[in-house]
Structures are given as C-alpha cells and as structure tokens.
A and B are shown apart, each in its own frame.
Chain A
Amino acid sequence: MTTPLLSLQGLTKAYPGVVANDQVSFDIGEGEVHALLGENGAGKSTLVKMIYGLVKPDSGTMLLRGQRFAPPEPRAARADGIAMVFQHFSLFDALNVAENIALGMENPPAMGDLAARIREVSETYGLPLDPYRTVGDLSAGERQRVEIIRCLLQDPKLLIMDEPTSVLTPQEVDILFETLNKLRSEGTSILYISHKLEEIRTLCDHATILRLGKNVGECAPAETSARDMAEMMVGSTLQTPERSGREFGEVALDVSGLSVPSPSEFGTALKNVHMTVRKGEVLGIGGVAGNGQDELLGVLSGEITTAPDAIKFNGQPIGKLGPTARRKLGVLTAPEERLGHAAAPDMSLTENALLTGSVREGLENNGFLKWAETKSFAEKIISAFDVRTPGPENAARSLSGGNLQKFVIGREVLQNPDILVVNQPTWGVDAAAAASIRQAILDLAAKGTAVICISQDLDELMEISDSFAALNEGRLSAPRTTTGLTVDEIGLMMGGAHGMEVAHV
C-alpha cells in the first residue's frame, strides 16, 4: 500500500469548556479529493487550522509523506506544500489583484513578472483574472479566484478549501469543479470542507464526517445517498419543514422602480428593482453575496429611505418612513449580521428584545420603559424558539450563533408582522435549528404574512419559497414561481458565471 500524502493520527484539541477535536484520525491520499463534512461547530475549522499551522494540537501526530509534520506557523505549512483558501477572503478592496497577491508572498517578484505569472496560472486552470483590476470591483466569485491563484502560485501538494461554493452561482461552481478536477489529475490533493452534500457527491473521492469533534464515519460519497450522509452529520433523522397548501391574498408589498446608491463605498447600488409580494406568499431572493442583499434589506427596514412611492405597503407609500414608523405599520425585518446589527453584543437579551419590540409590544409608556413587560417578552421568545441560554439577563454575545439567530428571528415572528423580511435566516445555524426557523417562517406565511427571504442557500429557498427572484449586481430578476424551476434557470437568473464565459479548460 502506498504512503498517504497526509496522515492524521489521534488529533485532539480542547478549548476552555469545549473539545473541538477528539482523537480525529484519517488519511488523505495523493491526488485525492477528500471531503470533510460536518455541521457548524463540528470541529472542521479547528482541524484544518491544525494542518495549516494556525493552531497546535494538544495531542496526536500528523505525518506528511511518512515524515512527522508539526508546522509551528502557516509559513512552515506553506513551505511544506500546504495551501489554504479561506471561507472569508483576506483581500484589500482598494488594491489590485497583483498587489494583493504580492502582499501574501515572502519574496514577491517584480510586479510585471508577477502579473505575467498570474495570467499564466489563471489561463492554465481556467480562472480568468486581470491582475490589474481593483479587488473592490470584483464579484465574490472573482475574489475567490484571487485566493485560489494565490495558492496555486505556491505549487501546493495539498490544497485546503473551506466552504468554497457558498459564494458562487451554480455555473461558477461547475467551473470551479473543473479546475479542481484538473488539479487532481495533476496529482494535487484537495481537502474540501463543506456541508453541501450534492457537491461532495459529485466531486469527492472520499469523505470523513465529523460530529461534535469526533470522527463519526467515513464513506465514498458517490456510493452514499445525501440523506445518509446528512443523518451521519447530525446524528439523528432530519425533519423537513412542511408547508400546507394555501391561497395568497392581496398584494401586501409593492416595490416599483426602486433605485438607491449604496451607503458604503464598495457596496452595490440597487437598480430599478420591481417586486410584489402577496399576503401569505414567501418570496425567495437568491444571489451571490455582495450583489445588493444588504442594501435591499436596508431599504425595506427603513434604514435607507427612498422616494415615498417606491415602496408601498397595502397601497400606502412608505419609502420615506424610518424603521420605527414601519414597525408600527407591521413591516419587520431581520438583518443578516446578528452581532452589531440585529442585536447589540454587550446588551442583555431583555434589552435586545426592546431593540425592535418596543413599538408593537407596547414596551414603553411616553418614552418610559416597561422593563417587566420587556423581560417577559424576551422570555417568551426564549421559550417559543428554544433559545439555549440561562436567562434573558445574559448578554447577546454569550449566545452561540445559532441560538442568537433563533432569538433574532423569534423576536420578529412573535410580533405578528404583516410583512417579514429576513436576510440569511439560517446562516451558520445547525440543521435542527435551521429547520425550526424555516418552519416558523412557513407558519407565519400560513397565517397570512407576506415574507421575503433573502438567502444564498438555494436549497433553503427551494424548500420554503413560493416564488423566486435573484439579485445580480443590484438588479432583481422578475420573480417566477418556484415549482418547476431548474438549477440551470436559477443559475442564469443569478447572472450565470460572472465573466467566466471565456473559460475553457
């Protein structure tokens, strides 16, 4: 039997109060695409950080081609041929592609030579990229290419990719997979982290599944059903949200000819957005991150005001109204960023319940706060949405991401909105919590609320939405009925492959 490229043996890493990895062992063969599967918090990130030299294991060994391997820092790992593409890009918006790549190198060559190298690598692997473009102007998919090319310039033996497809359209995913297949055929091994099962089934040779820090199983993805893998991941049978057949009412929200510039420099302006949502309807809005999702939420929440007629609620113009006035009418929103936007990190859950609940729940009296009522509102959210916390006096930042998300969604749902707008409602939330959040959204729609769900998770949108539209560079495609939409059609609505049409591997 041949020696594997990288062999992990009994890796353990504990943080105060939590064992992130517990005796994890597996091998990655040469030229193998190995999937690392697991829910959020299963210990995937800690594991790859140990391989990349960012974190040192408490115990256990790693062998690289049979040699003991214990990188003290990422530089040493890179010197041994290990490269990593992170989920969150570390790029400077104001610099161009070549400058960004040079910043990450030990001894960057002259800019002209580097640009030529970037062109060469990008053409070889079918990742077209102009070295002189400013990163701030690139789409998320293009930014990812910058990170991949940065890695490929090191000629890696093992390429680690952390959730690479979360920012890509389906067409872009296909192109990425071609690149990865080409790398595999050249003998590069890839450690591919994801929780998207279909992707893993098409791409990966082998999969290791982590749950609560332990290796709970291995499988050959092509021969295992997605459902079986999912159940290994969560350790229990999955419940899919049900939706009951329902009739839609009159138009509740009518957005027409909405154009606004973005408040931030590298944001995306909304361009001539049209949409209508009827009572009881769930409109899913897909699209790659950074195509105007935050701006759309801001416009609907009232944080960004527009011409009065651009947004109508039950026929009444509300474009000029601020967040408080809209809440009074029944237009509620839940932003994507939980800490710092939807909730104040250092404030208690009670205070965070007050943050959006004051108007509709009657938590103030001529400006004076009713703390007792506010506390019981917070307790109601905690019990109705199964938020795991010792009590409402705890700070928002002490909650895990999933629990805080349940709190944030629950806070809006319990206020019986007429319109609910949510952005990435299940981002970073474990499968069970995600299912309960989706169920809550569907239940609300069944009671006649018009729901807009902005998400990058297409599976989620297919599951809960009645109609589907996509944001692409600030433009919203015409909404279509979800039933019967194919992945290809959705991909085209999302803008196809951004600037990738020329790529032929």
Chain B
Amino acid sequence: MIVLEKRPQPSKAWSYATPLVAVLATMVFGGILFAILGKNPIQAIGTIFWEPLFGEFAFYYRPQLLVKGAPLVLIAIGLSLGFRAGIWNIGAEGQYIMGAIFGAAAGLAFYPLDAFYVFPIMVIAGAFGGWLWAAIPAFLKVRFGTNEILVSLMLVYVAEQMLASVSLGLLKNPEGFGFPGSRNLQSYESAHNAELIVGSGMHWGVVSALIAVIFAYVLLNRHMLGFHIRLTGEAPRAAKFAGVNPARLILFCLGMSGALAGLAGMFEVSGPSGQVSIDFNVGYGFTAIIVAFLGRLHPVGILLAGGLMALTYIGGEIAQSQLGLPAAAIQVFQGMLLFFLLAFDLLTNYRIRAARKEVA
C-alpha cells in the first residue's frame, strides 16, 4: 500500500522540480493522446514546442509569443498578489475589458490631436478603468462582506455588455460606414502602442509586464506589505495578530490586480488589436488564472508560465494548421499541463512511501 506522508517542511527541490516534471509528463501523455488520434507524437510535440521558437517561420512566431504572453503575465502578476492573500479575483477578464474601454476612450477623446501626452493619459485611464471595475467587489466585500469571487465574475458579463454597447454607440467609428467598432488606434500616431523595435513584438505592454514582475518580486520579498499579503494567505489569524488590516489588504490586492488587468487591456486595444470591438476580449483574463497557478504564484514563475502558455497557444495553432490536429486535442493538452502541475505539487508537501497495511 502506498501512503502519503506529510513532510516536516516543504521540499525546496520539489517546488522547483514540479513544473519541469509536469511539462515532461504532459509531453508523454499528450504524445500518447496524439498517437491515439493517428498523428506522429514526436512530430506533434515537436511542432508545438519547437516550431514557434526555432522553426522555419520562427521570425513570425517569436514576436507573437511576446504579444500573447505579455497580457497573460501582466494580469497573472496582479492576480497572484490577491491569490497569495486568499483574495480571489476571478473577474480579470472584465477589468481587462474596462481598461481597454477607458484607455481607448481617453485616446479617442483627443483625436486627432498630436501630442506626446496622449499615450501616457491613456495608460493612466486604462489602469483606472481596471481598478474601478475591481474596486466594486473590493468595496462590497469590505463594507457588506459579499463574496468577491461571485461579484468579480458577474462583473465580467456586465463589462462584456458595456463593450458591445460602446462598440455600437459611444465609441463607434464615425467614419466606419456603420460597422461596429471604434476608430483604429493603430492609425492614430499619438495613441498607438507601437512596437518599440520593429518586428520584435516588443511593445509597451511587454515592458510593463517585465516591470510588474520585478515590482511584484520586490513587494513580496522585500516589503512589509508583501509580507502581510503572504502572512494573510498562510495564517489569517496570525496576520490579524501581527496587525494586518484585512480591509486595507483587500482594497489593495483587488485594486492592484484590477489596475494591471486594465493596463493589459489598454495596451492590447491600442496595439495588437487596435480597436474596441464587440469581440475584443479573447479570454486572457481567465487564462491568466491558470498562468498564475502554473507559475506557483511566484513572479518569476509567472513570467515563465506566461511564456509557456503562449508557446502552447501558438504551437497549438501551428499543429492545427500543419498536422490537422483538432482544436479540442490542443485544449486537452493544455488542460493536462495544469492537471499534472497540480498533481505533482503534492510532492512539495508530501512524500510517497510504501507502507505495510495499517489500521489507522
């Protein structure tokens, strides 16, 4: 019989090794899945992990990795702060949308003014929009004790309706022949979140994501607030004893994750996407939850996880088009990754031991 035995303290080695083991296990079992579907497993795995980075068309795919990865990392960093403290913001998708609407609206309000300050104002407006949307569940939780999971999730749907509404009304392009959607910000120089180096995929969102990673790392490891966040998540009663003000922490964590999600939305709408449209959001806010956990809620981990997630997205698309793998198989593959990560996570706190049968 196999028993799990709690380790006296978490294993450092395993906490670093589990993501790698999980990726390897996903490759093995994903390969089996692809083989059952009648595809060459080695070729399929190679296409997903190799092609985007080093394949023939890597010059096109590599920038795409940054474009896909940046919003995921930016949002996941914000979410991880709250998750560390046991504050569950599930509505980053809505905050992402509101950030895009506020950011785009601020830019379009200046149209066609050409000034250096237009873009910075859009950045602030985008962060504010996301913050505002997250402040609703935060305020309701602090004041009335509502569940932030439900409120933030429901607000995603409200934000989607707002998005449709402004695409069809307030922000609709006056020169768009009646089609829904705003003016294209890519063609408005002062508001365009352009690539900093042409062809690199590196835009301001990527830079912000990197800054957010460093900021979160310093906050969590070097600052009292970060210590209080971790303490609240690990032992809420001890946090209260240490003098943590739970209300302030909720407002900070939800507000911060909202602002970062809003920034991600703003950089997306003014850059890769270009315009506010009904189908602007593609689920970054939800995928970021997976990224946050895949990266063990650790800033550097999230950076790596965001890259890995972007890789499976782009690699998956290539596999779909080149090998004819069904989209569902790619989703199963991504699901496996999360599953194995959580499963192997057990080894950080427990060790597996063969044991004689014992009546417990």
Contacts and interface: CB of A to CB of B under 8 A. Distances in A.
B242 interface: yes
B222 A344 contact: no
Contacts of A301: 241
Interface string B334-360: 000000000000000000000000111
Interface stretch (B195-203, B232-240, B261-269, B293-301): B232-240
Interface string A306-349: 00000000000000001111010000010101011111111100
B241 A303 contact: yes
A341 B241 contact: yes
A369 B9 CA distance: 24
A245 interface: no
A360 to B, nearest CB: 12
B243 A73 contact: no
A194 interface: no
A394 B9 contact: yes
Contacts of B230: 347
Contact of A347 (B231, B237, B245, B359): B231
A340 B238 contact: yes
B227 interface: yes
B114 interface: no
A151 to B, nearest CB: 21
B243 A327 contact: yes
A397 B227 contact: no
A347 B243 contact: no
A344 B9 contact: no
Interface in B286-314: none
Given A325-B243, A355-B242, A369-B222, 14 more contacts: A54-B359, A301-B241, A333-B241, A335-B241, A342-B238, A343-B238, A344-B231, A344-B238, A344-B239, A351-B227, A367-B223, A368-B224, A369-B224, A371-B222
A341 B222 contact: no
Contact of A324 (B223, B225, B237, B243): B243
B216 to A, nearest CB: 15
A55 interface: yes
Given A72-B359, A368-B223, A344 B235 contact: yes
A112 interface: no
A354 interface: yes
A341 to B, nearest CB: 5
B81 to A, nearest CB: 15
29 contacts: A54-B360, A55-B358, A72-B359, A73-B359, A303-B240, A303-B241, A322-B243, A324-B243, A327-B243, A337-B237, A339-B235, A340-B237, A341-B235, A341-B238, A343-B235, A344-B238, A345-B234, A345-B235, A346-B234, A347-B234, A351-B231, A355-B238, A368-B223, A369-B223, A369-B224, A394-B9, A395-B10, A397-B8, A398-B9
B95 to A, nearest CB: 26
A343 B230 CA distance: 13
A16 interface: yes
Contacts of A356: 241-242
A355 B231 contact: yes
A302 interface: yes
Contacts of A54: 359-360
Nearest to B235: A344
A340 B224 contact: no
A80 to B, nearest CB: 15
Contacts, number: 85
Contacts of A395: 8-10
Contacts of B359: 53-56, 72-73
Nearest to A337: B237
Interface of A: 16, 53-56, 72-73, 301-303, 322-325, 327, 333, 335, 337, 339-347, 351, 354-356, 358, 364, 367-369, 371, 394-395, 397-398
Contact of A340 (B10, B235, B245): B235
Given A55-B360, A72-B359, A347-B234, A342 B241 contact: yes
A143 B9 CA distance: 35
Contacts of A345: 234-235
A368 B222 contact: yes
A322 B245 contact: yes
Contacts of B235: 339-341, 343-347
A455 to B, nearest CB: 19
A303 B237 CA distance: 9
Contacts of A337: 237
Contacts of B239: 344
B243 A302 contact: yes
A443 B241 CA distance: 25
Find the residue from B223, B239, B241 having the highest chain A CB count within 10 A: B241
B267 to A, nearest CB: 29
Interface in B1-59: 5, 8-10
A346 B238 contact: no
Contact of A398 (B8, B227, B240): B8
A33 to B, nearest CB: 28
B27 to A, nearest CB: 31
B25 to A, nearest CB: 26
Contacts of A364: 224
Interface string B166-192: 000000000000000000000000000
6 closest residue pairs by CB, A with B? A324-B243, A323-B243, A395-B9, A344-B235, A398-B8, A398-B9
A397 B9 contact: yes
Nearest to A304: B240
Contacts of B227: 351, 354, 369
A395 B237 CA distance: 17
A11 B225 CA distance: 52
Contacts of A394: 9
B5 A16 contact: yes
A354 B228 CA distance: 10
Contacts of B237: 337, 340-341
A55 B360 CA distance: 6
Nearest to B358: A56
A323 B223 contact: no
B224 A367 contact: yes
A344 B8 CA distance: 14
B238 A358 contact: no
Contacts of B234: 344-347
